[in-house]
């Protein structure tokens, strides 16, 4: 009883610190806002072995996903367009061992039909006061799709692998839209909940949806001093694994309310949860051998025979069933029970393939029946739909691990049977990519090829996979996968051949003593954040040195090798140097653990590799080095040969033509160059004034804290201020900076100002905006945010600032609002805003683009006080 009361007290204490939710209502809607609606039709289960109790199922269900977008809004009416996003249909067949399947996202892999995503279904205009429908236009739209029959399980050699068409189905949207979209705003409740028909629900929106799930857990940090208790209320549309901090992952279902026993963890390091949704989380942490593939004892066994594996499977299955039937888990959500069951089947299938591929007596494995494609661990899995029952936890991804192992098995099989494939030679990354497209369909194909291309990027230059990368980005319909790959591509892009190490942003570049214009001298940079320096790594460097000496080029290559090791070993690990802690933190932020970069002495990158550097004289590193040395020699030889063969005469003719053209355009070019140079100097002068102004305000904040004897806050302020100052100085000379850098700089600034005033701020960024891919002029937004703090927050000492970013027809819209007293109509703004106004005019001259700004009081259009600033930046 005491324990329960303790949980209750902790829970209630944390409610006040939970994130606050402000309901979004029809009155809050703006043009461009959207909602995603899912309409569901459940079919009865008719296949043997399947139960209807699984609510979030992928079988026997049809899901129609529709996007509603605000296309027009005024004081009286609201117009929304409804377009088709996706149709998913999966039905079991009672007469055949398989299922009928269709998914419009992957229709190109199943049947040759046109994807009609984005097609208009209906347009409704609503009365804003009553929420009732005023007018509507329903498209006489019949969506027809062909179902494919997919046999249960995966297929082995000689068994049917291709799907067969089994007939068409259709959806008549003119009837469908009436009952679903009629009086849509009237179904919007005050708490932000949108009540639709019983078989429809909102799954996503451009604004925050009402929380439907909450938890109170401990955020366990790798640094013990940073442990904290986290209470959150969040919205989730489907069951998901939700990461909390560095070390915690919760398995959540909509409607869950979970509390963690923190006292138990502090005493025993065991994790236990209470409340709705606790069962699946207790299972994943109590039975790690079934939830984490690397914690499984069976994975590390060296099986003497297939019979031994059978016995171990039987023992494991008995333990697994006993664990699920434990009283602590009898109320587990059927969805998560199925997740764990599916994971076990994929785990066993993966293990069979892994052992079979390594076995010398493959016939024994065939006779054992373990490789039988009708065995439970193969016949029960259906990769086309089972990704709905997979988690994304790194050590629990049995579904993904099986797909990878199965792909290796099928490729090994192809190499054995195909005379065109070299059996001894490993497949190239490009061959792997193309074979995945032949072997798999739908989501499995795309998730494997995303992983394939992602791994290639670590070892190969981006130019080598450009064609496959573009093919994947253009063909993959799953934005979660394309976003992962695009992010990886952009992470590696600064280290591509031809780029300069200075442009990478690495701090180490400042200490490499780069020399301008030197291309006969080279630097080999190696950085490792791994703890300790393994003996093979040291031997690797020594072997590389010896090889350079044997080739007579040791004087041309300077080694800059950095690793993490104990201080007392500093004199015993040469040629390695101790990597600074700051560099370790920087690499971790960038997502790197080790990197090898060969560059010319001027910083031009020739070759790079991420991951462990294994020296091999035959590998690209030395080949690239020799080629670049020879390129210099060959160019000199060609130049001399050109003189002998009369190339000089041709060059003279070209020079004469060029001089004629030059003198004709000299005056015009000089005038244009001078004009642009003057504009650039004016822009730089404005920014050089803005930065001291910005720094002066920050230093005033420090002085304020020191005067109040708030030493701890002042120290924290100084640390954040130094980070902010570094970013400001790093971007001050750049004409354009990534939007992500500008937003990070804004967050630092607002975080600092919060030490002076207890106000809140938030960023709302539309999902179609990729901040790392957009560049804007530096210090463009900050003066307006600073003005909001100065005039909206400072007079009252509290308030809220909201910064919203949206993209409308290739125009980046930045809205900055505060809830202060507003501005006087005759106010000309502070120094920063006056400087920005001048900056706009110069940017227009330099880039021939119009950056517009509007500043108005919110009272003029809204029923609240405050100031609204809108920046419109054409991209």
- Provide the mean pLDDT of the chain: 80
Confidence of residue 304 (pLDDT cuts 50, 70, 90): low
Q: Is the pLDDT of residue 725 over 70?
A: yes
Q: Determine the Cα–Cα distance for residues 247 and 261; give it in Å rounded to an integer.
A: 16
Which of the pair, 688 or 221, is modelled with greater confidence?
Answer: 221
Cα–Cα separations (whole angstroms), residue 412 to 168, 209, 356, 409, 444: 37, 48, 11, 5, 18
Last residue of a domain, one of 440, 465, 496: 496
pLDDT, mean of residues 176-186: 86
Q: Determine the Cα–Cα distance for residues 250 and 277; give it in Å rounded to an integer.
A: 9
Which of the pair, 115 or 312, is modelled with greater confidence?
Answer: 312
773 plus 853 within the same structural domain: yes
Q: Determine the Cα–Cα distance for residues 246 and 263; give it in Å rounded to an integer.
A: 20
Last residue of a domain, one of 205, 240, 263: 205
pLDDT at 420: 56
If we measure between CA atoms, which residue out of 215, 243, 241 comes closest to residue 230? 215
189 plus 337 within the same structural domain: no
Q: What is the 3-state secondary structure (H, E, C) of 635-700?
A: HHHHHHHHHHCCHHHHHHHHHHHHHHHHHHHHHHHHHHHHHHHHHHHHHHHHHHHHHHHHHHHHHH
432 plus 455 within the same structural domain: yes
Rg (CA), the chain: 32
* Beta strands at 594-600 and 811-818: parallel, antiparallel or unpaired: unpaired
Contact 168, 146 (CB under 8 A): yes
392 plus 482 within the same structural domain: no
Q: Is the pLDDT of residue 624 over 70?
A: yes
- Asked whether residue 662 is domain-assigned, the answer is no
Q: What is the DSSP string of 258-301?
A: EEE-HHHHHHH----EEEETHHHHHHHHH-HHHH-GGG-GGGG-
Q: Determine the Cα–Cα distance for residues 748 and 754; give it in Å rounded to an integer.
A: 10
- Asked whether residue 328 is domain-assigned, the answer is yes
Confidence of residue 223 (pLDDT cuts 50, 70, 90): low
The backbone torsions φ and ψ at residue 179, rounded to the nearest 5 degrees and listed phi first, read -75, -20
Q: Is the pLDDT of residue 690 over 60?
A: no
- Asked whether residue 214 is domain-assigned, the answer is no
Beta bridge partners of 26: none
User: In the chain, what is the straight-line distance between the N-terminal and C-terminal CA atoms, in Å?
Assistant: 61
Q: Determine the Cα–Cα distance for residues 244 and 266; give it in Å rounded to an integer.
A: 18
Element (H or E) spanning 339, and its range? Answer: helix 334-358
80 plus 199 within the same structural domain: yes
Contact 830, 788 (CB under 8 A): no
Confidence of residue 48 (pLDDT cuts 50, 70, 90): low
Confidence of residue 826 (pLDDT cuts 50, 70, 90): very low
Q: Determine the Cα–Cα distance for residues 867 and 791; give it in Å rounded to an integer.
A: 9
pLDDT at 12: 41
450 plus 489 within the same structural domain: yes
Q: Determine the Cα–Cα distance for residues 324 and 280; give it in Å rounded to an integer.
A: 10
pLDDT at 240: 93
393 plus 382 within the same structural domain: yes
Read off the tokens for 710: 């708030």
Helix ranges (DSSP H) in 519-646 = 535-550, 581-590, 620-644
Angle formed at CA 377 by CA 373 and CA 382, multiple of 5 degrees: 80
Read off the tokens for 15: 């409610």
- Asked whether residue 632 is domain-assigned, the answer is no
- Asked whether residue 154 is domain-assigned, the answer is yes
38 plus 133 within the same structural domain: yes
Q: Is the pLDDT of residue 336 over 90?
A: yes
If we measure between CA atoms, which residue out of 695, 746, 752, 750 comes closest to residue 725? 695
**What sign has the CA pseudo-torsion 349, 350, 354, 355?**
negative
Q: Determine the Cα–Cα distance for residues 839 and 830; give it in Å rounded to an integer.
A: 14
If we measure between CA atoms, which residue out of 242, 515, 527, 288 comes closest to residue 396? 288
Cα–Cα separations (whole angstroms), residue 362 to 356, 366, 370: 7, 6, 11
Angle formed at CA 412 by CA 411 and CA 417, multiple of 5 degrees: 95
pLDDT at 380: 85
Read off the tokens for 549: 């000496």
Contact 553, 538 (CB under 8 A): no
The backbone torsions φ and ψ at residue 153, rounded to the nearest 5 degrees and listed phi first, read 80, -170
757 plus 714 within the same structural domain: yes
The least confident of 258-272, 559-573, 632-646, 744-758 is 632-646
If we measure between CA atoms, which residue out of 193, 206, 27, 205 comes closest to residue 804? 206
Q: Is the pLDDT of residue 28 over 50?
A: yes
Residue partners of 439: CB distance under 8 A and separation at least 6: 407, 410, 411, 445
Task: Report residue 456 CA to chain centroid gap.
Answer: 18
Q: Determine the Cα–Cα distance for residues 874 and 854; give it in Å rounded to an integer.
A: 15
Per the listing, tokens 């929304």 go with: 80
Which of the pair, 535 or 256, is modelled with greater confidence?
Answer: 256
Q: Is the pLDDT of residue 17 over 70?
A: no
The least confident of 358-362, 438-442, 730-734, 864-868 is 730-734
Q: Determine the Cα–Cα distance for residues 720 and 575; give it in Å rounded to an integer.
A: 35
Angle formed at CA 308 by CA 303 and CA 310, multiple of 5 degrees: 120
Q: How many CB atoms lie within 10 A of CB 694?
A: 22
Beta bridge partners of 610: 595
Residues spanned by the domain of 165? 26-205
Collapsed DSSP state (helix, strand, coil) of residue 721? helix
622 plus 541 within the same structural domain: yes
* Beta strands at 522-531 and 594-600: parallel, antiparallel or unpaired: antiparallel
Beta bridge partners of 869: 816, 855
Q: Is the pLDDT of residue 772 over 90?
A: no
Contact 500, 603 (CB under 8 A): yes
Q: Is the pLDDT of residue 650 over 70?
A: no
pLDDT at 187: 92
DSSP at 604: B
Q: Spell out a b/e string for 537-574, using b for 16 or more CB atoms within 10 Å of the CB, else e.
A: bbebbeebeeebeeeeeeeebebbbbbbbeeeeeeebe
Which stretches of 192-247 are assigned E, i.e. beta strand? Answer: 200-205, 213-219, 228-234, 240-244
CATH number for the domain spanning 614: value is 3.40.30
Q: How many CB atoms lie within 10 A of CB 274?
A: 18
**What sign has the CA pseudo-torsion 184, 190, 193, 198?**
negative
Q: Is the pLDDT of residue 707 over 50?
A: yes
Read off the tokens for 182: 């009629």
Establish whether the linkage from the previous residue to 31 is cis, with ω within 30° of 0.
no
481 plus 548 within the same structural domain: no
pLDDT at 461: 87
If we measure between CA atoms, which residue out of 407, 413, 301 comes closest to residue 355? 301
486 plus 605 within the same structural domain: no
Cα–Cα separations (whole angstroms), residue 139 to 132, 164, 278, 648: 20, 31, 46, 71
Last residue of a domain, one of 596, 627, 658: 627
Q: Determine the Cα–Cα distance for residues 245 and 242; give it in Å rounded to an integer.
A: 10
- Asked whether residue 222 is domain-assigned, the answer is no
Helix ranges (DSSP H) in 303-397 = 306-324, 334-358, 362-368, 376-379, 383-386
Q: Which one of 227-241, 278-292, 391-405, 697-711 scores highest in mean pLDDT?
A: 227-241
The least confident of 9-13, 124-128, 138-142, 305-309 is 9-13
Q: Determine the Cα–Cα distance for residues 62 and 715; give it in Å rounded to an integer.
A: 58
CA atoms within 13 A on the CB side of 765: 11
Residue partners of 246: CB distance under 8 A and separation at least 6: 219, 220, 221, 222
Per the listing, tokens 């138990």 go with: 264
pLDDT at 402: 92
Which of the pair, 846 or 740, is modelled with greater confidence?
Answer: 740
Overall number of domains in the chain: 5
pLDDT in tens, 354-383: 888 888 888 888 888 888 888 888 988 999
Q: Determine the Cα–Cα distance for residues 653 and 58; give it in Å rounded to an integer.
A: 72
Sheet with 228-234: strands ordered across = 228-234, 213-219, 257-260, 273-276
- Structure pTM? 0.67
Residue partners of 248: CB distance under 8 A and separation at least 6: 217, 218, 219, 220
Q: Which one of 46-60, 150-164, 189-203, 832-846 scores highest in mean pLDDT?
A: 189-203
Confidence of residue 455 (pLDDT cuts 50, 70, 90): confident
- Asked whether residue 193 is domain-assigned, the answer is yes
pLDDT, mean of residues 790-798: 83
Q: Is the pLDDT of residue 680 over 60?
A: no
Read off the tokens for 275: 């409340």
- Asked whether residue 132 is domain-assigned, the answer is yes
């Amino acid at each position: 009883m005491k324990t329960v009361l303790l949980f209750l007290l902790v829970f209630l204490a944390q409610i006040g610190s939970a994130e606050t939710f402000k309901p979004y209502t029809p009155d809050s809607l703006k043009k461009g806002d959207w909602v995603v609606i899912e309409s569901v039709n459940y079919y009865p289960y008719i296949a043997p072995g399947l139960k209807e109790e699984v609510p979030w199922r992928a079988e026997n269900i049809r899901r129609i996903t529709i996007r509603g977008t605000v296309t027009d809004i005024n004081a009286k009416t609201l117009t929304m367009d409804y377009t088709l996003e996706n149709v998913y249909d999966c039905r079991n067949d009672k007469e055949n061992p398989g299922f009928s399947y269709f998914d419009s996202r992957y229709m190109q892999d199943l049947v040759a039909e046109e994807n009609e995503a984005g097609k208009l279904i209906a347009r409704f205009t609503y009365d804003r006061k009553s929420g009732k429908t005023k007018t509507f236009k329903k498209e006489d739209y019949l969506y027809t799709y062909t179902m494919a029959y997919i046999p249960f399980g995966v297929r082995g050699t000689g068994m049917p692998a291709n799907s067969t068409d089994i007939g068409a189905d259709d959806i008549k949207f003119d009837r469908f839209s009436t009952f679903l979209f009629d009086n849509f705003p009237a179904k919007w409740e005050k708490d932000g909940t949108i009540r639709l028909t019983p078989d429809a629900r909102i799954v996503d929106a451009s604004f925050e949806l009402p929380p439907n799930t909450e938890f109170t857990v401990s955020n366990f940090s790798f640094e013990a001093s940073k442990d904290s208790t986290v209470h959150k209320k969040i919205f989730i549309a489907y069951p998901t694994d939700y990461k909390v901090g560095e070390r915690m992952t919760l398995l959540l279902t909509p409607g869950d309310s979970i509390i963690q026993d923190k006292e138990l963890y502090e005493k025993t390091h065991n994790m236990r949860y209470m409340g709705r949704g606790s069962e699946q989380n207790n299972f994943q942490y109590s039975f790690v051998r079934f939830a984490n593939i690397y914690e499984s004892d069976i994975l590390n066994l060296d099986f003497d025979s297939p019979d031994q594996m059978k016995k171990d499977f039987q023992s494991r299955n008995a333990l697994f069933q006993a664990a699920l039937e434990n009283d602590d888990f009898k109320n587990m959500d059927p969805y998560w029970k199925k997740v764990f069951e599916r994971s076990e089947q994929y785990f066993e299938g993966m293990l069979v393939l892994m052992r079979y591929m390594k076995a010398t007596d493959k016939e024994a494995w065939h006779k054992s029946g373990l490789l039988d494609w009708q065995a439970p661990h193969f016949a029960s899995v259906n990769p086309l739909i089972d990704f709905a029952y997979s988690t994304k936890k790194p050590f629990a991804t049995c579904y993904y691990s099986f797909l990878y192992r199965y792909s290796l098995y099928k490729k090994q099989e192809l190499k054995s049977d195909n005379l065109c494939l070299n059996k001894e030679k490993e497949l190239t990354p490009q061959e792997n990519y193309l074979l995945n497209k032949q072997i798999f369909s739908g989501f499995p194909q795309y998730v494997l090829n995303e992983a394939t291309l992602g791994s290639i990027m670590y070892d190969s230059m981006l130019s080598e996979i450009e064609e496959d990368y573009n093919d994947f980005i253009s063909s993959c319909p799953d934005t979660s996968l394309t976003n992962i790959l695009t992010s990886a591509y952009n992470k590696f892009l600064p280290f591509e051949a031809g780029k300069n190490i200075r442009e990478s942003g690495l701090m180490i570049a400042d200490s490499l003593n780069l020399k301008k214009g030197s291309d006969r001298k080279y630097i080999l940079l190696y950085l490792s954040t791994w703890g300790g320096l393994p003996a093979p790594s040291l031997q690797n460097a020594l072997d590389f040195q010896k090889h350079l000496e044997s080739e007579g080029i040791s004087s041309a290559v300077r080694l800059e090798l950095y690793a993490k090791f104990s201080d007392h070993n500093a004199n015993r690990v040469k040629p390695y140097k101790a990597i600074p802690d700051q560099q370790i933190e920087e690499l971790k932020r960038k997502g790197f653990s080790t990197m090898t970069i060969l560059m010319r002495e001027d910083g031009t990158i020739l070759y790079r590799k991420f991951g462990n550097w294994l020296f091999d004289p035959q590998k690209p590193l030395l080949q690239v080095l020799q080629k670049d040395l020879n390129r210099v020699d060959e160019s000199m030889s060609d130049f001399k040969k050109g003189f002998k063969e009369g190339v000089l005469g041709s060059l003279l003719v070209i020079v004469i033509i060029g001089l004629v053209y030059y003198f004709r355009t000299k005056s015009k070019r000089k005038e244009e160059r001078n004009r642009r140079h003057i504009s650039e100097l004016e822009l730089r002068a404005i920014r050089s004034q803005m930065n001291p102004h910005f720094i002066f305000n920050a230093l005033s904040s420090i002085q304020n804290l020191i005067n109040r004897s708030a030493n701890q806050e002042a120290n924290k302020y100084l640390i954040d201020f130094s980070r902010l100052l570094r970013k400001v100085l790093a971007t001050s000379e750049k004409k354009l900076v990534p939007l992500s850098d500008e937003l990070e700089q804004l967050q630092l600034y607002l975080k600092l100002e919060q030490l002076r005033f207890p106000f809140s701020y938030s960023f709302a960024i539309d999902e179609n905006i990729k901040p790392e891919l957009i560049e804007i002029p530096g210090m463009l937004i900050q003066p307006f945010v600073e003005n909001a703090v100065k005039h909206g927050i400072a007079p009252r000492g509290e308030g809220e600032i909201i910064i919203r970013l949206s993209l409308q027809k290739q125009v980046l819209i930045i809205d900055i609002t505060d809830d202060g007293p507003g501005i006087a109509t005759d106010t000309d703004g502070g120094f920063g805003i006056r400087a920005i106004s001048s900056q706009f005019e110069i940017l227009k001259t330099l880039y021939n683009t119009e950056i517009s700004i509007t500043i108005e009081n919110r009272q003029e259009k809204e029923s609240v006080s405050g100031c609204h600033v809108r920046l419109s930046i054409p991209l």
